[in-house]
Protein backbone atom coordinates (compact mmCIF):
# COMPACT_ATOMS: atom_id res chain seq x y z
CA UNK A 1 0.00 0.00 0.00
CA UNK A 2 1.00 3.61 -0.23
CA UNK A 3 -0.28 6.25 2.13
CA UNK A 4 1.17 9.14 3.96
CA UNK A 5 1.81 8.81 7.65
CA UNK A 6 -0.97 11.31 8.20
CA UNK A 7 -3.36 9.26 6.08
CA UNK A 8 -2.55 6.14 8.02
CA UNK A 9 -3.07 7.79 11.36
CA UNK A 10 -6.50 8.83 10.17
CA UNK A 11 -7.33 5.37 8.87
CA UNK A 12 -6.03 3.61 11.94
CA UNK A 13 -8.01 5.84 14.25
CA UNK A 14 -11.15 5.55 12.19
CA UNK A 15 -10.79 1.81 11.82
CA UNK A 16 -10.41 1.50 15.57
CA UNK A 17 -13.65 3.37 15.95
CA UNK A 18 -15.21 1.15 13.29
CA UNK A 19 -16.66 4.25 11.72
CA UNK A 20 -14.99 4.83 8.38
CA UNK A 21 -16.84 4.34 5.15
CA UNK A 22 -14.76 6.16 2.61
CA UNK A 23 -11.95 4.40 0.84
CA UNK A 24 -8.53 5.06 2.26
CA UNK A 25 -5.86 6.68 0.22
CA UNK A 26 -4.00 3.41 0.43
CA UNK A 27 -1.31 2.26 2.77
CA UNK A 28 2.20 2.51 1.74
CA UNK A 29 5.61 3.64 2.42
CA UNK A 30 4.38 5.29 5.53
CA UNK A 31 1.92 2.67 6.69
CA UNK A 32 2.02 0.34 9.63
CA UNK A 33 5.48 1.46 10.53
CA UNK A 34 4.73 2.05 14.14
CA UNK A 35 3.24 -1.37 14.73
CA UNK A 36 6.42 -3.36 14.46
CA UNK A 37 9.41 -3.13 16.68
CA UNK A 38 12.73 -2.49 15.09
CA UNK A 39 14.76 -5.60 14.44
CA UNK A 40 18.31 -4.86 15.36
CA UNK A 41 19.73 -8.01 13.78
CA UNK A 42 18.01 -7.34 10.47
CA UNK A 43 19.13 -3.74 10.63
CA UNK A 44 22.71 -4.80 11.23
CA UNK A 45 22.62 -7.13 8.25
CA UNK A 46 21.72 -4.18 6.06
CA UNK A 47 25.25 -2.96 6.42
CA UNK A 48 26.24 -5.88 4.20
CA UNK A 49 23.89 -4.95 1.38
CA UNK A 50 25.94 -2.43 -0.54
CA UNK A 51 28.63 -5.09 -1.03
CA UNK A 52 26.13 -7.46 -2.55
CA UNK A 53 24.86 -4.77 -4.85
CA UNK A 54 28.41 -3.87 -5.83
CA UNK A 55 29.06 -7.50 -6.66
CA UNK A 56 25.98 -7.69 -8.83
CA UNK A 57 27.06 -4.59 -10.66
CA UNK A 58 30.45 -6.09 -11.26
CA UNK A 59 32.46 -3.22 -9.92
CA UNK A 60 33.77 -1.90 -6.68
CA UNK A 61 32.31 1.56 -6.83
CA UNK A 62 30.83 3.15 -3.79
CA UNK A 63 27.06 3.26 -3.47
CA UNK A 64 27.13 7.03 -3.77
CA UNK A 65 26.11 8.39 -7.13
CA UNK A 66 29.50 9.84 -7.95
CA UNK A 67 32.07 7.31 -6.83
CA UNK A 68 35.65 8.41 -6.38
CA UNK A 69 38.10 7.37 -9.06
CA UNK A 70 40.15 5.20 -6.77
CA UNK A 71 37.18 2.96 -6.05
CA UNK A 72 36.51 1.92 -9.63
CA UNK A 73 38.39 -0.63 -11.68
CA UNK A 74 40.81 1.47 -13.71
CA UNK A 75 40.39 -0.81 -16.73
CA UNK A 76 36.79 0.24 -17.15
CA UNK A 77 36.71 3.57 -15.41
CA UNK A 78 35.68 6.60 -17.41
CA UNK A 79 35.50 10.10 -16.03
CA UNK A 80 32.30 11.81 -17.10
CA UNK A 81 32.95 15.03 -19.07
CA UNK A 82 30.91 18.19 -18.62
CA UNK A 83 28.31 18.46 -21.39
CA UNK A 84 25.82 20.85 -19.78
CA UNK A 85 25.13 23.77 -22.12
CA UNK A 86 26.31 21.89 -25.20
CA UNK A 87 23.90 20.82 -27.93
CA UNK A 88 22.60 17.26 -27.80
CA UNK A 89 24.62 16.46 -30.93
CA UNK A 90 27.85 17.77 -29.38
CA UNK A 91 27.18 16.06 -26.07
CA UNK A 92 26.50 12.72 -27.79
CA UNK A 93 29.70 12.96 -29.84
CA UNK A 94 31.75 13.88 -26.79
CA UNK A 95 30.32 11.12 -24.61
CA UNK A 96 30.48 8.47 -27.30
CA UNK A 97 34.11 9.39 -27.99
CA UNK A 98 35.04 8.44 -24.44
CA UNK A 99 32.96 5.24 -24.47
CA UNK A 100 29.76 6.44 -22.81
CA UNK A 101 26.14 6.18 -23.91
CA UNK A 102 23.39 8.77 -23.77
CA UNK A 103 19.84 8.78 -22.54
CA UNK A 104 17.78 11.87 -23.27
CA UNK A 105 15.26 12.87 -20.66
CA UNK A 106 12.76 15.39 -21.94
CA UNK A 107 11.58 17.88 -19.38
CA UNK A 108 8.05 18.54 -20.56
CA UNK A 109 7.73 21.53 -18.28
CA UNK A 110 10.20 23.37 -20.43
CA UNK A 111 9.72 23.90 -24.12
CA UNK A 112 12.63 24.65 -26.40
CA UNK A 113 12.15 26.78 -29.51
CA UNK A 114 14.46 24.47 -31.39
CA UNK A 115 14.01 20.91 -32.52
CA UNK A 116 15.95 17.71 -32.23
CA UNK A 117 19.64 17.47 -31.48
CA UNK A 118 20.23 21.23 -31.63
CA UNK A 119 18.55 21.63 -28.26
CA UNK A 120 20.99 22.19 -25.41
CA UNK A 121 21.61 20.01 -22.42
CA UNK A 122 20.11 21.49 -19.23
CA UNK A 123 21.50 18.96 -16.77
CA UNK A 124 23.44 15.72 -16.76
CA UNK A 125 23.43 12.71 -14.46
CA UNK A 126 25.95 11.67 -13.28
CA UNK A 127 27.68 15.00 -13.11
CA UNK A 128 31.04 16.02 -14.51
CA UNK A 129 33.96 14.25 -12.84
CA UNK A 130 31.95 11.19 -11.72
CA UNK A 131 33.73 7.96 -12.58
CA UNK A 132 31.57 5.35 -14.27
CA UNK A 133 31.90 2.08 -16.14
CA UNK A 134 32.56 1.99 -19.87
CA UNK A 135 29.28 1.95 -21.76
CA UNK A 136 27.34 3.61 -18.93
CA UNK A 137 24.56 5.88 -20.07
CA UNK A 138 24.66 9.51 -19.06
CA UNK A 139 21.21 11.01 -18.55
CA UNK A 140 20.87 14.33 -20.35
CA UNK A 141 17.94 16.53 -19.43
CA UNK A 142 16.69 18.65 -22.31
CA UNK A 143 13.65 20.83 -22.92
CA UNK A 144 10.74 19.32 -24.83
CA UNK A 145 10.50 20.03 -28.54
CA UNK A 146 8.28 22.95 -29.67
CA UNK A 147 5.71 20.61 -31.16
CA UNK A 148 5.48 18.78 -27.87
CA UNK A 149 7.35 16.04 -29.73
CA UNK A 150 7.00 12.68 -28.15
CA UNK A 151 10.31 11.35 -29.40
CA UNK A 152 12.81 10.37 -26.80
CA UNK A 153 16.05 9.58 -28.54
CA UNK A 154 18.04 6.71 -27.19
CA UNK A 155 21.32 5.47 -28.46
CA UNK A 156 21.64 2.23 -26.60
CA UNK A 157 18.33 0.49 -25.96
CA UNK A 158 17.64 -2.47 -28.19
CA UNK A 159 14.37 -3.11 -29.98
CA UNK A 160 12.73 -4.95 -27.13
CA UNK A 161 14.49 -3.51 -24.13
CA UNK A 162 17.50 -5.74 -24.65
CA UNK A 163 20.53 -4.27 -22.92
CA UNK A 164 18.41 -2.05 -20.68
CA UNK A 165 18.49 -2.23 -16.90
CA UNK A 166 15.40 -2.46 -14.69
CA UNK A 167 15.56 -2.39 -10.90
CA UNK A 168 12.60 -4.21 -9.34
CA UNK A 169 11.65 -3.36 -5.77
CA UNK A 170 9.24 -5.78 -4.10
CA UNK A 171 7.51 -3.44 -1.65
CA UNK A 172 7.91 -3.65 2.13
CA UNK A 173 9.58 -6.42 4.16
CA UNK A 174 8.64 -8.86 6.92
CA UNK A 175 9.26 -6.36 9.70
CA UNK A 176 8.83 -2.63 9.26
CA UNK A 177 11.43 -0.20 10.53
CA UNK A 178 9.60 2.71 12.18
CA UNK A 179 12.70 4.84 12.58
CA UNK A 180 12.52 7.83 10.28
CA UNK A 181 14.42 9.02 7.23
CA UNK A 182 14.12 12.26 5.21
CA UNK A 183 11.43 12.07 2.50
CA UNK A 184 13.94 13.39 -0.04
CA UNK A 185 17.58 14.52 -0.22
CA UNK A 186 18.05 17.42 2.21
CA UNK A 187 14.45 17.27 3.46
CA UNK A 188 13.58 18.15 7.04
CA UNK A 189 10.31 16.22 6.74
CA UNK A 190 10.73 12.55 7.59
CA UNK A 191 8.78 9.31 7.28
CA UNK A 192 9.29 5.76 8.59
CA UNK A 193 12.14 4.04 6.75
CA UNK A 194 9.95 1.17 5.58
CA UNK A 195 6.77 -0.54 6.71
CA UNK A 196 5.31 -4.04 6.75
CA UNK A 197 2.47 -3.23 4.34
CA UNK A 198 -1.05 -4.60 4.46
CA UNK A 199 -2.36 -8.18 4.80
CA UNK A 200 -4.82 -10.25 2.76
CA UNK A 201 -8.27 -10.05 4.32
CA UNK A 202 -9.09 -13.68 3.37
CA UNK A 203 -5.74 -15.35 2.79
CA UNK A 204 -3.90 -13.52 5.60
CA UNK A 205 -0.95 -13.43 3.20
CA UNK A 206 1.06 -10.26 3.83
CA UNK A 207 1.73 -7.67 1.12
CA UNK A 208 5.51 -8.10 1.29
CA UNK A 209 5.12 -11.78 0.35
CA UNK A 210 2.75 -11.20 -2.58
CA UNK A 211 4.96 -8.35 -3.79
CA UNK A 212 8.03 -10.60 -3.78
CA UNK A 213 6.24 -13.41 -5.64
CA UNK A 214 4.98 -11.10 -8.39
CA UNK A 215 8.38 -9.40 -8.56
CA UNK A 216 10.26 -12.69 -9.03
CA UNK A 217 7.83 -13.63 -11.81
CA UNK A 218 8.44 -10.23 -13.43
CA UNK A 219 12.21 -10.70 -13.13
CA UNK A 220 12.06 -14.00 -15.05
CA UNK A 221 10.01 -12.47 -17.83
CA UNK A 222 12.13 -9.35 -18.23
CA UNK A 223 15.32 -11.40 -18.26
CA UNK A 224 13.84 -13.60 -20.98
CA UNK A 225 13.40 -10.39 -23.01
CA UNK A 226 17.09 -9.57 -22.57
CA UNK A 227 16.65 -6.97 -19.84
CA UNK A 228 19.29 -6.75 -17.12
CA UNK A 229 17.35 -7.03 -13.84
CA UNK A 230 18.51 -6.04 -10.37
CA UNK A 231 16.33 -6.83 -7.35
CA UNK A 232 16.36 -4.65 -4.23
CA UNK A 233 15.49 -7.77 -2.25
CA UNK A 234 14.92 -11.49 -2.93
CA UNK A 235 13.92 -12.48 0.60
CA UNK A 236 11.45 -11.05 3.12
CA UNK A 237 13.75 -10.83 6.12
CA UNK A 238 15.66 -7.69 5.19
CA UNK A 239 15.79 -4.11 6.38
CA UNK A 240 16.08 -1.77 3.42
CA UNK A 241 14.46 1.65 3.63
CA UNK A 242 12.56 3.26 0.79
CA UNK A 243 15.36 5.77 0.17
CA UNK A 244 17.94 2.97 0.14
CA UNK A 245 15.88 1.11 -2.47
CA UNK A 246 15.86 4.23 -4.67
CA UNK A 247 19.62 4.61 -4.22
CA UNK A 248 20.06 1.07 -5.54
CA UNK A 249 18.19 2.09 -8.70
CA UNK A 250 20.37 5.21 -8.99
CA UNK A 251 23.54 3.21 -8.52
CA UNK A 252 22.43 0.77 -11.23
CA UNK A 253 21.57 3.74 -13.48
CA UNK A 254 18.36 1.91 -14.14
CA UNK A 255 16.29 2.72 -17.20
CA UNK A 256 13.30 2.14 -14.93
CA UNK A 257 12.78 1.61 -11.21
CA UNK A 258 9.68 -0.58 -10.72
CA UNK A 259 8.15 -0.77 -7.26
CA UNK A 260 5.68 -3.64 -6.83
CA UNK A 261 2.94 -3.30 -4.17
CA UNK A 262 -0.59 -4.38 -3.36
CA UNK A 263 -3.17 -1.89 -2.16
CA UNK A 264 -5.40 -1.61 0.87
CA UNK A 265 -8.54 0.30 1.71
CA UNK A 266 -11.07 0.56 4.51
CA UNK A 267 -13.68 0.01 1.76
CA UNK A 268 -13.70 -3.76 1.21
CA UNK A 269 -15.45 -3.39 -2.15
CA UNK A 270 -12.67 -1.27 -3.61
CA UNK A 271 -10.62 -3.18 -6.19
CA UNK A 272 -8.47 -2.73 -9.26
CA UNK A 273 -5.02 -1.79 -10.46
CA UNK A 274 -3.39 1.63 -10.12
CA UNK A 275 0.07 2.87 -11.05
CA UNK A 276 1.76 5.71 -9.19
CA UNK A 277 4.52 7.93 -10.53
CA UNK A 278 6.52 10.87 -9.10
CA UNK A 279 4.65 14.17 -9.12
CA UNK A 280 6.51 17.42 -9.68
CA UNK A 281 8.52 18.66 -6.68
CA UNK A 282 12.00 19.98 -5.85
CA UNK A 283 13.59 16.56 -6.47
CA UNK A 284 11.64 14.87 -9.22
CA UNK A 285 11.58 17.33 -12.16
CA UNK A 286 14.10 15.41 -14.32
CA UNK A 287 12.19 12.12 -14.01
CA UNK A 288 8.52 13.14 -14.05
CA UNK A 289 7.87 12.95 -17.80
CA UNK A 290 9.50 9.58 -18.39
CA UNK A 291 8.02 8.12 -15.20
CA UNK A 292 4.56 9.22 -16.22
CA UNK A 293 5.03 7.65 -19.64
CA UNK A 294 6.14 4.36 -18.06
CA UNK A 295 3.18 4.47 -15.66
CA UNK A 296 0.76 5.03 -18.55
CA UNK A 297 2.11 2.10 -20.58
CA UNK A 298 2.36 -0.29 -17.64
CA UNK A 299 -1.10 0.57 -16.32
CA UNK A 300 -2.63 0.07 -19.77
CA UNK A 301 -0.99 -3.31 -20.40
CA UNK A 302 -1.68 -4.64 -16.89
CA UNK A 303 -5.37 -3.85 -17.15
CA UNK A 304 -5.44 -5.48 -20.59
CA UNK A 305 -3.67 -8.63 -19.32
CA UNK A 306 -5.78 -9.09 -16.19
CA UNK A 307 -9.16 -7.54 -16.96
CA UNK A 308 -8.95 -5.80 -13.59
CA UNK A 309 -10.69 -2.51 -12.83
CA UNK A 310 -8.63 0.38 -14.19
CA UNK A 311 -7.94 2.88 -11.42
CA UNK A 312 -5.59 4.87 -13.63
CA UNK A 313 -2.29 6.56 -12.85
CA UNK A 314 -1.63 8.97 -9.99
CA UNK A 315 1.17 11.47 -9.37
CA UNK A 316 2.63 11.36 -5.84
CA UNK A 317 5.03 13.88 -4.33
CA UNK A 318 5.13 12.38 -0.83
CA UNK A 319 6.84 9.05 -1.41
CA UNK A 320 10.47 8.76 -0.28
CA UNK A 321 11.10 6.01 -2.82
CA UNK A 322 10.26 8.45 -5.62
CA UNK A 323 11.88 11.55 -4.14
CA UNK A 324 15.24 9.83 -3.73
CA UNK A 325 15.16 8.36 -7.23
CA UNK A 326 17.18 9.95 -9.99
CA UNK A 327 15.92 7.47 -12.56
CA UNK A 328 12.36 7.14 -13.91
CA UNK A 329 10.25 5.33 -11.33
CA UNK A 330 6.78 3.83 -11.01
CA UNK A 331 4.88 2.03 -8.25
CA UNK A 332 2.34 -0.57 -9.31
CA UNK A 333 -0.53 -1.31 -6.94
CA UNK A 334 -1.47 -4.78 -8.25
CA UNK A 335 -4.83 -5.04 -6.51
CA UNK A 336 -6.48 -4.70 -3.10
CA UNK A 337 -5.61 -7.17 -0.35
CA UNK A 338 -8.58 -5.72 1.54
CA UNK A 339 -10.96 -7.03 -1.15
CA UNK A 340 -11.49 -10.76 -0.62
CA UNK A 341 -11.76 -11.59 -4.34
CA UNK A 342 -8.65 -9.67 -5.30
CA UNK A 343 -6.82 -10.92 -2.21
CA UNK A 344 -7.29 -14.53 -3.40
CA UNK A 345 -6.38 -13.60 -6.97
CA UNK A 346 -3.17 -11.90 -5.82
CA UNK A 347 -2.00 -15.15 -4.23
CA UNK A 348 -2.96 -17.25 -7.26
CA UNK A 349 0.00 -18.25 -9.48
CA UNK A 350 -2.20 -17.89 -12.58
CA UNK A 351 -3.19 -14.31 -11.73
CA UNK A 352 0.38 -13.48 -10.73
CA UNK A 353 1.38 -14.65 -14.22
CA UNK A 354 -1.15 -12.28 -15.77
CA UNK A 355 0.06 -9.37 -13.64
CA UNK A 356 3.71 -10.02 -14.48
CA UNK A 357 2.89 -10.58 -18.14
CA UNK A 358 1.07 -7.24 -18.34
CA UNK A 359 3.79 -5.42 -16.44
CA UNK A 360 6.46 -6.89 -18.72
CA UNK A 361 4.61 -5.83 -21.87
CA UNK A 362 4.30 -2.25 -20.61
CA UNK A 363 7.91 -2.07 -19.47
CA UNK A 364 9.22 -3.45 -22.77
CA UNK A 365 7.17 -0.92 -24.70
CA UNK A 366 8.57 1.84 -22.49
CA UNK A 367 12.16 0.66 -22.89
CA UNK A 368 11.75 0.52 -26.66
CA UNK A 369 10.62 4.12 -26.99
ZN1 LIG B 1 2.60 -1.18 -0.20
- What is the pLDDT averaged over residues 245-271? 98
What residues are paired with 261 via a beta bridge? 333
CA of 46 to the centre of ligand 1 (A): 20
Nearest to 109 by CA among 340, 315, 303: 315
Q: Which domain holds residue 115?
A: 64-144
Task: Point out the least confidently predicted range of 103-107, 161-165, 275-279, 289-293.
Answer: 103-107
- pLDDT of 289 strictly over 70: yes
Q: Are residues 329 and 199 in the same domain?
A: yes
Q: Judging by beta carbons within 10 Å of its beta carbon (0-12, 13-18, 19+), is residue 275 exposed, middle or buried? A: buried
Q: Are residues 73 and 42 in the same domain?
A: no
Q: Are residues 109 and 207 in the same domain?
A: no
- Residue 214 inside a domain? The answer is yes
- What is the pLDDT averaged over residues 285-298? 98
- pLDDT of 145 strictly over 80: no
Mean pLDDT for the chain?
80
Q: Are residues 192 and 313 in the same domain?
A: yes
Q: Indicate the residue among 80, 110, 144 that finishes a domain.
A: 144
- Residue 152 inside a domain? The answer is no
Q: Are residues 320 and 213 in the same domain?
A: yes
CA of 199 to the centre of ligand 1 (A): 10
Nearest to 177 by CA among 121, 120, 119, 237: 237
Q: Are residues 213 and 180 in the same domain?
A: yes
- Residue 321 inside a domain? The answer is yes
CA of 230 to the centre of ligand 1 (A): 19
Q: Are residues 263 and 352 in the same domain?
A: yes
With a pLDDT cut of 70, the percent of the chain lying above it is 75
- What is the pLDDT averaged over residues 175-195? 95
CA of 8 to the centre of ligand 1 (A): 12
- Residue 250 inside a domain? The answer is yes
- What is the pLDDT averaged over residues 150-173? 70
Using 50, 70 and 90 to split pLDDT, how confident is the model at 98?
A: confident
- What is the pLDDT averaged over residues 112-131? 81
CA of 171 to the centre of ligand 1 (A): 6
Distances (CA, A) of 358 to 15, 260, 297, 300, 301: 34, 13, 10, 8, 5
The domain spanning residue 114 has which CATH number? 3.30.10.20
Q: Are residues 175 and 311 in the same domain?
A: yes
Nearest to 234 by CA among 247, 218, 252: 218
CA of 284 to the centre of ligand 1 (A): 21
CA 283 distance to own-chain centroid: 14
Q: Are residues 100 and 223 in the same domain?
A: no
CA of 202 to the centre of ligand 1 (A): 17
- pLDDT of 150 strictly over 90: no
Look at residue 206 in the predicted model and tell me its pLDDT: 98
The pTM for the full model equals: 0.62
pLDDT tens digits for range 296-343:
999 999 999 999 999 999 999 999 999 999 999 999 999 999 999 999
- Residue 363 inside a domain? The answer is yes
Q: Are residues 52 and 84 in the same domain?
A: no
CA of 29 to the centre of ligand 1 (A): 6
pLDDT tens digits for range 4-60:
444 333 333 333 333 333 333 344 553 433 333 333 333 333 333 333 333 333 333
Look at residue 196 in the predicted model and tell me its pLDDT: 82
- pLDDT of 156 strictly over 90: no
- What is the pLDDT averaged over residues 195-211? 96
Q: Are residues 257 and 301 in the same domain?
A: yes
Total count of domains within the chain: 2
- Residue 211 inside a domain? The answer is yes
Strands 273-278 and 190-194: unpaired
- Residue 326 inside a domain? The answer is yes
Q: Are residues 260 and 198 in the same domain?
A: yes
- Residue 4, SS3 per DSSP: coil
- Residue 248 inside a domain? The answer is yes
CA of 261 to the centre of ligand 1 (A): 5
Greater confidence, 136 or 147?
136
The domain spanning residue 23 has which CATH number? 3.40.630.40
Amino acid sequence: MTVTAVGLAAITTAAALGAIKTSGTGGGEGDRGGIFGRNQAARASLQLLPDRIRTELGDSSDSSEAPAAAEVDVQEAIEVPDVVGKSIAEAKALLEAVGLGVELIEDRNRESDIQGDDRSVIAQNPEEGAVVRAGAKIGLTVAAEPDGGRTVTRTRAGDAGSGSTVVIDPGHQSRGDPTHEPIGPGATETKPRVTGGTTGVSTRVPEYEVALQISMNLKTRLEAAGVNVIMTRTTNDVNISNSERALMANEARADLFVRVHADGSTDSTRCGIATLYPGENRWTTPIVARSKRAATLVQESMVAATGATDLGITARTDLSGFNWSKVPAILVECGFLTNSVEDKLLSSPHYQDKLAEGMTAGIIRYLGE
